Structure 1
């Protein structure tokens, strides 16, 4: 089986799991208490629109979860194809008591990859935790590398990412986002993940049908 076929199979698996999760939750919602629609109406939102908002809010939660998990899994698959010994790994927290361990998404030689599809967080605590994580990884003799495919749009979230980029560079690590993230995967694995995903996306939903 080719790498493209493996990625397609992975996409099929995640698409099926997403559909099952969404269908199950939408069915559950038919029995939900909707008395809170009173407040929607007070705020000028009709019951029909309120129901759609609730449904799509739930669909969105599942979509974000599965989109991130799929892209991480597909990226790890590319590295596994190029570097059979690569794998996820947990390292003990040498800088504190919580959490007890930190996970490396994909360890390739001494390069510890953190794979994110996107990160819209605006929480300052996120910086502290990530700083501790990359220090622990560096202490373990690995080089922290962050790959994030989609950069946030909000000003506060962008400032968080800029700080993280500085932290990575300061500890001797690397940070790639947007097109640079796709190019990093291509350069390292010789697998054009983005083009493969575009082919799969077009086969499912042609652009003219969007």
Structure 2
């Protein structure tokens, strides 16, 4: 278990370094940006200084969201591989439609086709259709679709979509875990308390009070 913890810490350092580099690089690029749109900000009561900060944080937020998600998904996969070293990322042919030609399975362990997501806040119709098709295709391949999503979306429309997906998984005898249930699933499935490990790392880097 100590080896796994060390791997997750190393992964966190890589993602942290890459994230900071991306943000700093974008800040440098933004100094050369055309900021003529700040006129509209000012019309709406946002000063130039405020507008600059908003743009910086908006760009930083996009990077943070992307890397936070990838880090958590990779960490969860490390936990799964710790218990099941023969588990693999793979693809299955789309047996229902033409697009996409294949669907990716994040972790295939025996007949368990596990999809690992940190959060799914999508409300896009095409994405929803794709998710529905994906579950049915995996079932047709004789596999059990299992969705593990660590953080539930916050918006009502996105929540309704997740509730529909949960019903769909149940309809094909799959499994759906979100929020606390996702952390619990990982603990029960591979014997690793990932949330405790991440909490330990977080407290080392940034204490709870933010100081």
- Number of residue pairs matched? 210
Aligned counterparts, 1:108-147, within 5 A: 108-147=109-148
Shift of 1:136: 1.1
Q: TM-score scaled by structure 2?
A: 0.97
Shift of 1:208: 2.7
Residues 100-141 of structure 1 deviation map (CA, whole Å, 9 limit, x = unaligned): 111001111111111111111122333211110011111112
Q: TM-score scaled by structure 1?
A: 0.97
| Aligned-CA RMSD value | 1.0
Shift of 1:152: 1.4
Which residue does 2:67 correspond to in 1?
66
Which residue does 2:210 correspond to in 1?
209
Which residue does 1:164 correspond to in 2?
165
Aligned with 2:10: secondary structure?
helix
**Distance across 2 between alignment mates of 1:132 and 1:187:** 28
**Distance across 2 between alignment mates of 1:129 and 1:192:** 31
| Cα pair 1:14 1:70 within 8 Å, conserved | yes
Aligned counterparts, 1:37-186, within 5 A: 37-186=38-187
Aligned with 2:181: secondary structure?
helix
Unaligned segments of structure 2, at least 5 residues: none
Runs of 4+ in 1 over 4 A off after TM superposition: none
**Distance across 2 between alignment mates of 1:55 and 1:171:** 45
**Distance across 1 between alignment mates of 2:57 and 2:9:** 26
